[in-house]
Amino acid sequence: MNSFILKIGRALNAVVRRSNWYSNIVFEDCNKFWNHKEFNLDVINLGSTSGVHSFNYNGLDIKAANFALSHNQLLGDEAVLMNYCSFLNPGKSTVIISLCPFSSLAGSYDYFDDRYYSILHSSSIPYFSKLHYNGVMHVKNRPIKYFPCYQVGIEILYWIRRLLKIKSNCKLTESQLEEDANNWIKGWKHEFSITSFDMPLSMINEDAINDSIEILNRIIAFCENRNIELVLTIPPVYHTLARKFLSSFREKVLDQMINGLKRDCYTFINYMEDEHFLNDRNLFKNSFLLNETGAKYFTQRVLTDIKLIKK
C-alpha cells in the first residue's frame, strides 16, 4: 500500500514539474541549469529576458549554451558566471552578455528570488538563508504539495492557448507591434520610476548605473584573469520599439555605463538598430523579443562577427 502511494506521489510530482506553474513561474529558466552536463563549452551567453530569446545555437557547429535568465539582473549574470564557468573550455572560450538599455538601471538589485537558490551556491546569494533554502528545495523536490488548486484551470487555458498559437502560427500586425512597444515602455518607466526620457535621471537610477559599472568591471576582471573573451552586446529590437528610445536617454543610461568600463578587455557590439532586423517582422515574437527564427539568425550573426564561426 505504501509503495503504491509513493508511486502515485512520484507520478503527480512528475506531472507538476511539466506544468507552466513549475517551469515558467516558480523555477523559470532553471531547468537548463539542473540538467546541463556538457563541459568544454566554446561559448555561453548570459543576460536577462532578451538574452533568453535572442540566442539559439541549434544547428551550429559549436559547443555552446544559453545561460540567460528571464527577469535577471547584472548581479545575477556575475553569479551565474562564477558558478558555471567550470563548464567553459579552459583553453579558449567566450562569454557573451546580452544587455538592453535598462540593464544599467537594474544594477542596484541585490535581491535574488527563490529560483536562484536552486541553481547557485549559497555564497553567491545575497542575504542567504539556510531555512529559506530548505523551503525552496522542498518545493523543487515535492511540488505537488505546493501546487495551487486554482492553478489547474490556468494550466488548462495555458496549454490551450499554446496549442492554438502553434496551429495558427500567427504574427503580430504592425499596429499590434506599435501597441506592444508602448506597453514595454510603460512597464519600464513604471519599474524604474521614470516620468519622461527627457528628464534627468533620479539619484537612485544614477546610483544604479554606478553599481552596474562596478559589477561589469568585476566580470571583466574575472574573464581577464581566466583568459575568457568577453563580448557585450545589445540584441536588435523591432523599429516600433527602437524609435521610442531617445538618443539623449541612451547616452544617459547606456553610454554612461559603457564609458565607465575598463577599456580594451571586451568587445561591445550594438545591434539595437541593425538594418537586417529593424524592419523584418518575421524575426520577432513581439517588438522586444526575437522569435526562434530571429534568434537563430542573430546567434549566427554574432558568432560570425566575433569570428567564432565562418559565414
Q: Per-residue pLDDT tens for 154-210?
A: 888 888 887 777 655 578 899 999 999 999 999 999 999 999 998 999 999 999 999
pLDDT tens-digit profile of 61-79? 999 999 999 999 999 999 9
Residue 7 pLDDT > 80, yes or no? no
More confident residue, 233 or 12: 233
pTM value surpassing 0.75: yes
The full 3-state SS of 239-306, as one line of letters, equals HHHHCCCCHHHHHHHHHHHHHCCCCCCCEEEECCCCHHHHCCHHHECCCCCECHHHHHHHHHHHHHHC
pLDDT score for 250: 86
Residue-wise over 153-187: b if at least 16 C-beta within 10 A, else e? Answer: eebeeeeeeeeeeeeeeeebeeeebbebbeebbee
d(CA 21, CA 263): 43
d(CA 286, CA 187): 15
| Sheet of 64-66, strands arranged across | 64-66, 43-46, 93-98, 228-234, 267-270
Q: Which residue shows C-alpha cell 583553453?
A: 91
d(CA 172, CA 116): 33
d(CA 141, CA 195): 43
Percent of the chain predicted with pLDDT > 90:
78
pLDDT score for 223: 96
**Mean pLDDT for the chain?**
92
pLDDT score for 176: 96
Asked if 198 contacts 62 with a C-beta cutoff of 8 angstroms, the reply is no
d(CA 212, CA 107): 4
Residue 227 pLDDT > 90, yes or no? yes
For domain 2-305, which CATH number applies: 3.30.830.10, 3.40.190.10, 3.40.50.1110, 3.40.1190.20? 3.40.50.1110
Domain assignments of the chain as residue spans, ordered by start: 2-305
d(CA 236, CA 100): 9
